[in-house]
Every structure is written in structure tokens, then in C-alpha cells.
A and B are shown apart, each in its own frame.
Chain A
Amino acid sequence: MTLDLCCPVAAWGHATVPFAGFDDWRKANCQKRQSAAFAQTCKLGDEQTMVAAEAMFRAIDSAGWSGRSFEEWGIVAAPQFLGRLRMWSAIERYRALEVRGASPRHIPTVSQHAVAGTLSVIFQCRGPCFGAGGSQGSLLDGFVNASSLAAGGMAPGFWLAISQWSPEPLPQASDAENAEARCHAAVLALLPPVPAGPQPDDGSRTKKDAEDAEFELAVRFRPTLHRHEVDANVSDVQDFLDASTAPGSVWKRSLAAGVWVELRRRRARFAALPRVA
């Protein structure tokens, strides 16, 4: 038995923001985007949430989808070790002030669903919405779950957001010690596989979107019981999205038990996006 779940990637974008100057970038970006829903999240949103939102803005811009409604779309977001810096602050504050030092806001901003939930608010997506993964290789959780649900037709499309710090910034470390840390995010717009025959043009998903897709994301399976897993990084995905040029180029990682994910270029590259905000 073999299996191929294959979803066209109708839009994509990514962003990387260094630890140094992150707060300045946050303020500037909130003003630049001129979105009330985005501004609402700017102050409290975790760094991974903010960079994922920027990646999603870029995906929408680059696909020419500005003004389009994603009302029925779902969101799967797979941040990695979300909220390390904020949790440190929250724990220290609790140690100092005990009960009155516990902010009710840290739970909604650093829980694993926080990125997906915040993106749903900013981009007004009212389809299924949840977080996936959480630790090393979290993006593979995102790939498998978003592909599975998109291929199953649970929504007209799924936004998949993957994000991580690399290397992880450490709490209480100086800016110099965290100088190498960068927050990476990539966002892919997944469509269900195109069935034969005419498609409804519902304004959010069209057959043309799928046919024009630059990439496809596939979950493939060949029978095995091996538990082999390979680590994967968001920056690898960013590099592939940027650097691959020839149709058929593949980025591939094994998950477990014969399941692996593939990001495959379907047609030649047409544009490049700036890497660092």
C-alpha cells in the first residue's frame, strides 16, 4: 500500500527577524500594516506570532490576494518552543509577587494554539484553527496535519504557519549573547487536491489558484514500521522556497513509520522575496 496526499501551495511567504532590534521591528511593522486587528495583537503577541503574521501578509501580497476573504479557511500553526522568553518573565514575576504576579495574559499568548488563534483574528479566518507540534521538528507536525485536513476537504483552504527561533534566545542573556538568534516563519496556503471537472469560483478558492500553484506539499507513505525521524528547521524551508528554481526540486523529511513530507516545486520560480525584514 502506498499513499500520496498532495496539496497545491497556492501562496507562500516568509520572514526572518533578528533578536536584536526585535521590539523596534515590532513597532514599525504594526504601523506599516495599518490593520486594526493586527494592531490589537502587536503589543502582546509572542515574537513567533508576529513574524508568522508578517509571513502571512507577504504570502497574501505576493499572490495578489489582498482584499480577498479567507472567512472559510482554516489555520494550522506549528511554532516551536513558543514563549520561552515570556514564560521566563512570567515565572520570575510569579516568584517575586506570587499570586498577584500571575498575568492572565500569558496563557493565551504562549499556549501552543496562540499563533493559530491570533492569525485567525488578524486575517479573519473562521475555519478550523489549532496549533500543532511544539518541540523540535514541530514544522513536520504542521505539514502532516495541515496536509491531511486540506486534502480531506475540511475547508476550502488551510493556512499553514511554521515558526521557530534559531538558535533559541536565552532568557536573561545579553543582546550580545543572543546576537545570533533569529525568529523564522514561513506560511503556505494549501488547497485541497484539484478534482476533475469544473470548480466553483467562490472567491477564495478557484481551480486556477490550484493550477497556478508554484509548489505542492505532499504527505507520502510507503509501508514500514521504522520509527526513524529527521529533524527539520524552518530556515531550511525558507531556503528551499527561495533557492529552488527547477520544477521537480524537492525538500523532503521523514516523519515516522514510513511517512514523510515533501515540498515540491511544480513550476519555475517567478519572484523572489526579501529574506530579512
Chain B
Amino acid sequence: MDAQEPVWITGAGCVSTMGCSPDKLIDNALEGRSGVRFIERFAVPNHPCQIASYLDQVPRPEGWSESAFAAHQPWEQILIWCCVAAMRDAGLWDDRQSRRVGLVLGVGGEWIVRWTQDHFEQVPSIRSAQDDEMGLARRALGWLDISGPSTTVAAACASGNYSLGVARQWLRQGLVDVCLAGGCEYSVTPMGLAGFGNLGALSRRNDEPCRASRPFDRGRDGFIMGEGGAMMVLETASHARRRGIQGRCEVAGFGGSSDAFHSVMPSDDPEPSARAIDRALRDARVAPADVDYINAHATSTPLGDIHETKALERVFGEHLPHVPLSSTKSMTGHMLSAASAIEALLCLGAIERGALPPTINLDEVDPECAHLDHVRKEARPRRVNIAVSNSFGFGGSNTSLVLRRVA
């Protein structure tokens, strides 16, 4: 047990509208492609927002029969695909039964989605407590044939970052040899869309789906819902070296904080968000001037993007104008529980490719965010040693993750 041992990401898998492999996702992000489109999954004429970044189908992993995979619900399929792909990427799939493989899953509304879906399909699970099943993270141990332990962590949009922070802790404390961590989301449902729509949080640019998510732009009017998932294999550097594996990057720092303000209304005090970023940098022993890229939480809401800008000002001070920043939600939409996991993966892509994904649709920068070094519209070449990924959850749960190039 070594409280300071580096923890590496050695494998990754994802499902998104921009690709169902990390390479494809990163390619599309660097090319500035949007995954947002008009919703045809269900009728939307009465919804304030009628567009989303939603999935048609989840790919089936090799070795799964068509019927067995089809028997799973979409959110289960997302988790299975991501975990299998990540384990294969790490070279651990065939060897998984000889190790203690944990699973820390970031998902915020598992039972909300499940009960709702069942109810509309005339399955009375919400009224049949005697039939209550174990949660997704527990059942996945059987599907994946891994030992566990497993857990679910939930902090709304910050769930994925918490899962990576918790998994890193489990590894350093010796609870597991290897840990799958990330987040999954399947929220583009009639009630989900209506709930966020009635909250006034979603964009109404229904006539131009690909241009609707526009973080930091003067004309932004809300976020776009997204869904999918990303799971990563984490292991300590010493464990990976014993396998002869080099890390793809290091999970170098994590910071979490709470606004402690209100369960619904956002706080206008940037201090708690700044505190999460500061904690992550301190945890990673990184100075603000050393950061090469910030993947902003920026969801494209009028207040949220300014709030994050103020938090960044507090932490980065005079260095802020020199740190390139983008919000990939302009392309992926806001994947809620999966957002921070997919954004960690895009940071990994920036480190590996030496290029920063852009904020698309950033036509006219909001004057209150104008002093940031925006990566606008097109990818920017840059060597990245340190990337910071912010995720601030609905209800005031703030997180920041620091990823570092493995030397």
C-alpha cells in the first residue's frame, strides 16, 4: 500500500455519438464534428428542446451472442461494451479472472431511468419491491466475470470524475489490483428531456442541432443532452510495469468540493468550484502555470460558463490567458453522469495526439469569458504534459481531475 504511488490509465472504451472507440471519438473531436441531431427516438413536438446527442445502437462486444446482448437494457449494453473494450485495450480481458478487478461506476440516476422505462413498458418494477434487483455495478461483475468489489458513485454531472478519484484511492490502498472506472448515461428519454426542458436548462435552437451547443458563445441558451459512456482501466504504475505495460496517462490529481448552497439553484459564488480545482492541482503537485490544457465543464448555459470562468480566474490568476481551454460538450452534448469520463478520455487524447480539441460554434465569445485562451472551432497542435478536466454537478458537487503524461 503506497499512498503516493502513481496510478495509470492503461485501457479505455467508450460509446458515444461521436464514436464507439477512443480513437474514433478523439478523431471526430479533433475534426470538430458534432454528434447532436433532431430526436426521432420518441415524439418531441411538445418538448421545448427537441434535439440531443443520442445513440441509435450500442455495439456488441466480440464473444457476446446477439440474443444475449439484446436481452440487456441499453444502459447495461453501454457499460458492458465500454468495460470489455477497456479491458481488451489494457490487455487484461483474457487474464481478468486471475486478478482482483474492481468496478467503480459513475451513474447518477440509475433507478430513475430504470423505473421510468419499466413503467412505460408496463413492467411494474417500481411497485414490486420484492423483485428489486441489485444495481448495475453489482450485476456487471457477473456479466463481465470479474471479481469486484464494485460500487456506484453519484454526483450528477461530476459522477465520472468521482469514479476515477475513488478508483485511484482503491488501488493505492490495495483493495483491488486493477479497477474499471468511468461513467454511463442513458437519459434521452421523454421524462428526462421534459424535466431538464422545464427547468429551462436546455437549448431551444431546435432548427440547427449541430450549432446548438455553444459554450462560452454570446448566443448560448442552454445545454444539449447527450448519452453514452466511457470506462477506463486503472492500475498502479508498479502493477502495469510488472505486466510490461506503459500507462496511457497518469491520473495525477483529484479534487472535490460542494457548494453547500441549494439542491436546485446554482450558487453564484465561484469559491467552492475554485476549491475543487485547487485541490486537484495540489493533489497532483502541479502549479497552475504548468497546465497545458483545460477541458472545461462549460455546458453552454448562460450562467454556468461565466461561473466556471470566475472559478478558473481564482485558481490560475495571471496564468489563465496562457492556458488553452475548450469545452468538448459543444460536440458531445452534455452526457451528464458520463460527461466527466468522456472528457477525461478526450484529455487523454490530447496528451497522446499532441492536439487540443476545439470548442465548436464559438462564433462570438461572451465578453465575460473573453480573456480565456479559447481553442476555437479547430483543433490546435500542442504538446500536453498536464491536462485538467473540470466537472461541476447539478446540485453543487464540484470536481476537477488532473491527468499527466507518463514519462
Q: Which residues of A contact B (CB under 8 A)?
A: 1, 3, 5, 40-41, 44-45, 74-75, 81-84, 87-88, 90-91, 94, 98-114, 116-118, 120-121, 123-138, 141, 144-145, 148-149, 151-152, 154, 167-168, 170-172, 219, 221, 223, 225-227, 229, 255-259
Number of interface residues of B (CB under 8 A): 77
Partner of B169, one of A135, A149, A171: A149
B198 in contact with A99 (CB, 8 Å): yes
Write the nearest CB–CB distance from B360 to chain A, whole angstroms: 27
A135 to B295, CA, bound (A): 33
Structural contact, A87 and B198, CB atoms closer than 8 A: no
Is B262 interfacial (CB-CB < 8 Å)?
yes
A107 close to B109 (CB less than 8 A)? yes
The A contact surface, by secondary structure, is mixed
Given contacts A107-B394, A130-B159, A168-B132, 15 further A-B contacts (CB under 8 A): A75-B258, A88-B115, A88-B126, A99-B48, A102-B194, A110-B112, A113-B397, A114-B263, A118-B263, A129-B256, A135-B133, A148-B169, A152-B172, A168-B129, A257-B102
A-contacting residues of B (Cβ < 8 Å)?
Answer: 1, 3, 46-48, 97-98, 100, 102, 107-112, 115-116, 119-120, 126-127, 129, 132-135, 138, 141-142, 147-156, 158-159, 162, 165-166, 169-170, 172-176, 190-191, 194-201, 256-264, 272, 275, 393-397
Query: Is B170's CB under 8 angstroms from A148's CB?
Result: yes
Complex contacts, A135 vs chain B, CB 8 Å: 110-111, 132-135, 138
Chain B CB within 10 A, most for which of A1, A112, A127, A167: A112
Contact yes or no, B152 A112, CB < 8 A: yes
* Given contacts A117-B396, A121-B262, A152-B173, A126 and B151 within 8 Å (CB-CB): no
Q: Contact at A91–B263, with CB atoms within 8 Å? A: no
Partner among A3, A84, A170 whose Cβ is within 8 Å of the Cβ of B175 = A3
* Chain B contacts for A126, CB-based, 8 A: 257-260, 272, 275
The answer for the CA separation of A123 and B261 in the assembled complex, in Å, is 10
* Inter-subunit contact B191/A108 (CB<8 Å): no
Give Cα A100 to B46, complex, Å.
9
CB A65 to nearest CB in B, in angstroms, measures 17
Given contacts A98-B46, A112-B110, A132-B154, contact A258 B100 (CB under 8 A): yes
CB of B124, distance to nearest CB on chain A (Å): 10
**Shortest Cβ distance from A160 into chain B, in angstroms?**
13
Chain A residue contacts of B201, Cβ below 8 A: 104
Instruction: Find out whether the CB atom of B129 lies under 8 angstroms from the CB atom of A167.
Output: yes
- Chain A residues with Cβ below 8 Å from B260 are 120-121, 123-126
* A91 with B154: CB separation less than 8 A: no
B198 touches A102 (CB 8 A): yes
Contact between chains at A107 and B149 (CB < 8 Å): no
Q: Are A108 and B162 in contact (CB under 8 A)?
A: no
Distance of A238 Cα from B327 Cα, bound (Å): 46
Whole-angstrom distance between the alpha carbons of A6 and B127 in the complex? 39
Q: How far is the CA of A133 from the CA of B151 in the complex (A)?
A: 6
The 5 closest A-B pairs by CB, nearest first: A128-B256, A102-B194, A104-B199, A112-B154, A256-B148
A74, A75, A148, A257: the one contacting B147 at CB < 8 Å is A257
Query: Smallest CB–CB gap between A62 and chain B, Å?
Result: 23
Distance from A44 Cβ to chain B, minimum over Cβ atoms (Å): 8
A113 and B264 CA atoms in complex are apart in Å by 12
A144 to B132, CA, bound (A): 22
- Which residues from chain A contact B200 at a C-beta distance below 8 Å? 104
Query: B397 touching A130 by the CB < 8 A rule?
Result: yes
Inside 8 A of B141's CB, which chain A residues have their CB?
Answer: 227, 256
Which of A84, A109, A152, A256 contacts B115, CB < 8 Å?
A: A84
A111-B112, A127-B256 given as contacts; is B138 within 8 A of A91 (CB)? no
CB-defined contacts of A152 to chain B, threshold 8 Å: 3, 169, 172-173
User: Which B-chain residue is minimally distant from A221 (CB atoms)?
Assistant: B175
